[in-house]
Structure 1
């Protein structure tokens, strides 16, 4: 429990993975970094939790033998519980090419429990019992944990080494013939040091190899989108083992978005992440354009970008109207044959939109065909004309509640009449109608989807503090500090 809480605070913030398929791309779509500044914050948070944990810890019963002036004494220590604990020094440090080293030193603790003794004095068996108080000072513990990944891209953790030492341990016996045993308390305390040190390491090792390893195996392998995009998931598998230097911990993740019901790999791969040396903030997250483009590729293949609309589907304050009267002013044949009829509009995306991130800018290039039909009473729809549109939009991203959201505006568009069943159509009218349609119908719909956001990995009770979002060639960089709220458990 202890080491799961210590390490999971930040590991779970950066490790959410998928475990069903082989990982082909050598480069990550997502990358995280936890600096030493971030690890120091984790340390301060972990110390508070560790103190709480120690004060409510029950120590396993133990037994042993200690040499005394009256002979070897067999002892049993039972019902032991820590009454108080102080940990003035605690650290979590990256170990290059290995993992993490968790250390505490200069710690002290007070323990109460029950004792039983037995020894033989000449031919007489002597047994006694009572309670005891132990005060341990100069307690130190060093645990090194190796972090890696398994064949499915899931994180792994195991204890590499553990060293525990108690510099000074004093025992005071109460009850029974305690006045006699207190004369030999130092001899008995020396025998207890090794046992308690071994228990400390055993508990730390079990916490890593069992509790924390189980926590890693239970990590949710995918993160779902919400709302209208719930049919998609994002893959956070590790594409390589976590990387450790003397300044930070770094993890690299797949970052692909695909349909929940089927996985169709995109025809492109992530590029190498740009080199970054910054370590002044606690956490850094790089989101490459690969992530966004797998999203757009999936939207295209799923048909999500194809839409059918009638007047009722348009915003109430829209200046664009799906009624032939709107078009009849500029198209004589519509005025003569189909005046004042309801219309339908079918939008078909003809290419997967492509998102490009450059220094300080995000653009999306997309294109499609918009087909318009009239609805004569009690008759089948009558096709009128098709517009072919290619456009570039600008996306302004921002962070809201651990999701990347944004707002889209039109940078440029090109439009032409692909075919017409109502004769010649003025280019001026085509451009005017398209501009009104995009501004009042298409862009608001896109912004409603973008507002649902790209979910980032989350940890309960963890939030970003003063996050900054920066655009650089090929990726977005999020730099933030953290705030973690301790639970009462």
Structure 2
């Protein structure tokens, strides 16, 4: 992959959308210098191996009256001891490699009038300096792009040692050979860099999943809203960060607010998930019809001590038992509007409205509507990251009930308060939390793993921090 991993942290994510540059992102990925340093460590090891496999052509030339030929050039190794990746404001990334060195073996043959000689030689290349500038962008699909905007290689010192006793002959042409080999190596180095960026690194950054299918009904749009932006301290990628219904994608009726991430540097990568990101999830699931839950007798835990049938309500709705004696009851819970949450320094909270329609299940399996309740309550959320996914759980406070409609006469809703508390806490909430525990995928490049997770809440957004581990193939 070559230079691919030199920006793998841009990959830790990242890097990780069909929009205008004026659009605020709903989700931001930030790569810190710590992340770039890790990328450098991983990438240099790979680049070093590729340069060690550099193929050099045979060289035939003339220096004065001496004709010489170098053949079977074999690069023994190539060492890159000092290197660094730096974000350059409004440009992209710069990779600087200094004090690199290499060693090369080969065969030589010379001819000077009637004198012919041959043997082997050893060449040491020292003080190699390489500078690579990478331009970051996005394509029409919102995927990240990367290209080489500049590459230069300079070799300060080349020393050739020939075998044999013809030292005087060597002195006639060694300067020409050293100069020729220096120029050949310099041009080959940048050729390898450019090819690796085009054929390997570009393919790697394109593994960013700009659309992530969550389940059969919803997905997430992680396309870039603009090209990644470099500053002197970090690299930011603004993503659309929007959930959508797979069946029908509609326009979100509100826009994301500007996201200003704090200047934390303890982790390699940070993810800023705005309230817009989470609220589009509510819209997508509501539009997809996924926020509808049915509770029937077979779902009631055995330890609650009652059966879900009309006799359960006979004490406070006597007419119900008369109209539908000993018939099973079903509750259909749904949200009349998409739930809307807020994020602040204290965490995530929401106050959803849930409607609970009760039905009697008749002997012929048809449903007879009984009454319609409105349920409200304070809901808080706990968020974490596991296996590259945002996971969470909900906790519900006291539920408040009101009667919206009834086909069995009026009654005091407080009489069924305990029942609704049991149905929500024992059945509805565990089902919601089971889904939230499956999580939603973060925008990560291929073979990126996260560790050392940090979770913090700010006004209008959630900040997730993590360190990055790149898992090579094989």
Which residue matches 1:188?
A: 177
Deviates more, 1:144-153 or 1:157-166: 144-153
Quote the Cα distance in structure 2 between the aligned partners of 1:318 and 1:158.
64
Deviates more, 1:463-472 or 1:259-268: 259-268
Which residue matches 2:263?
A: 277
Tell whether 2:84 aligns with 1:91.
yes
Q: Is the 8 A contact 1:47 1:87 kept in 2?
A: yes
Select the residue among 181, 196, 199 that pairs with 2:188. Answer: 199
Quote the Cα distance in structure 2 between the aligned partners of 1:67 and 1:384.
104
Select the residue among 333, 336, 341 that pairs with 2:322. Answer: 336
* Structure 1 unpaired stretches of 5+: none
Select the residue among 247, 254, 257 that pairs with 2:233. Answer: 247
Q: Is the 8 A contact 1:65 1:191 kept in 2?
A: no
Q: Is the 8 A contact 2:119 2:164 kept in 1?
A: yes
Quote the Cα distance in structure 2 between the aligned partners of 1:28 and 1:137.
47
Quote the Cα distance in structure 2 between the aligned partners of 1:318 and 1:476.
38
Q: Is the 8 A contact 2:319 2:408 kept in 1?
A: yes
After superposition, the C-alpha distances for 1:165-204 in whole angstroms (9 at most, x for unaligned) are: 1122223456999995586434311221011111111211
Select the residue among 53, 63, 76 that pairs with 1:67. Answer: 63
Quote the Cα distance in structure 2 between the aligned partners of 1:311 and 1:66.
96
- Deviation, structure 1 residue 100: 0.8
- Deviation, structure 1 residue 310: 2.0
SS of residue in 2 equivalent to 1:32: strand
Q: Is the 8 A contact 2:204 2:445 kept in 1?
A: no
Select the residue among 220, 244, 266 that pairs with 1:234. Answer: 220
Q: Is the 8 A contact 2:205 2:445 kept in 1?
A: no
Map residues 248-263 of structure 1 onto 2, 5 A cutoff.
248-263=234-249
- Deviation, structure 1 residue 293: 0.8
Map residues 116-195 of structure 1 onto 2, 5 A cutoff.
121=112, 131-173=120-162, 180-181=169-170, 184-195=173-184
Which residue matches 1:46?
A: 43
Deviates more, 1:345-354 or 1:295-304: 345-354
Q: Is the 8 A contact 2:9 2:468 kept in 1?
A: no
SS of residue in 1 equivalent to 2:131: strand
Quote the Cα distance in structure 1 between the aligned partners of 2:217 and 2:166.
73
SS of residue in 1 equivalent to 2:25: coil
Q: Is the 8 A contact 2:11 2:445 kept in 1?
A: no
SS of residue in 2 equivalent to 1:287: strand
- Deviation, structure 1 residue 295: 0.9
Quote the Cα distance in structure 2 between the aligned partners of 1:271 and 1:175.
75
Which residue matches 2:99?
A: 106
After superposition, the C-alpha distances for 1:308-335 in whole angstroms (9 at most, x for unaligned) are: 3322234454567422222223211123
After superposition, the C-alpha distances for 1:291-314 in whole angstroms (9 at most, x for unaligned) are: 111111000001111223322234
After superposition, the C-alpha distances for 1:96-126 in whole angstroms (9 at most, x for unaligned) are: 11011111111111223455x576x56x7x9
* Structure 2 unpaired stretches of 5+: none
After superposition, the C-alpha distances for 1:397-451 in whole angstroms (9 at most, x for unaligned) are: 1222221111111134332112222223222213232222211222112111111
- Distance verdict in 2 for CA 1:447–1:319, change over 3 Å: farther
SS of residue in 2 equivalent to 1:422: coil
Which residue matches 1:7?
A: 7
Tell whether 2:35 aligns with 1:34.
no
Q: Is the 8 A contact 1:366 1:391 kept in 2?
A: yes
After superposition, the C-alpha distances for 1:67-96 in whole angstroms (9 at most, x for unaligned) are: 25x34x354544x44322322201111111
- Distance verdict in 2 for CA 1:301–1:24, change over 3 Å: farther
Give the TM-score, by structure 2 length: 0.90
Q: Is the 8 A contact 1:237 1:253 kept in 2?
A: yes
After superposition, the C-alpha distances for 1:204-259 in whole angstroms (9 at most, x for unaligned) are: 1222234323434454432222xxx3432211111122111221111111111112
Q: Is the 8 A contact 1:385 1:420 kept in 2?
A: yes
Deviates more, 1:394-403 or 1:257-266: 257-266
- Deviation, structure 1 residue 271: 0.6
Q: Is the 8 A contact 2:12 2:468 kept in 1?
A: no
Quote the Cα distance in structure 2 between the aligned partners of 1:173 and 1:110.
14
Quote the Cα distance in structure 1 between the aligned partners of 2:291 and 2:267.
38
SS of residue in 2 equivalent to 1:59: coil
Give the TM-score, by structure 1 length: 0.88
SS of residue in 1 equivalent to 2:465: strand
After superposition, the C-alpha distances for 1:112-142 in whole angstroms (9 at most, x for unaligned) are: 3455x576x56x7x98876543221111111
Quote the Cα distance in structure 1 between the aligned partners of 2:347 and 2:315.
40
After superposition, the C-alpha distances for 1:444-464 in whole angstroms (9 at most, x for unaligned) are: 121111111121123444332
- Distance verdict in 2 for CA 1:379–1:472, change over 3 Å: closer
Quote the Cα distance in structure 2 between the aligned partners of 1:25 and 1:371.
44
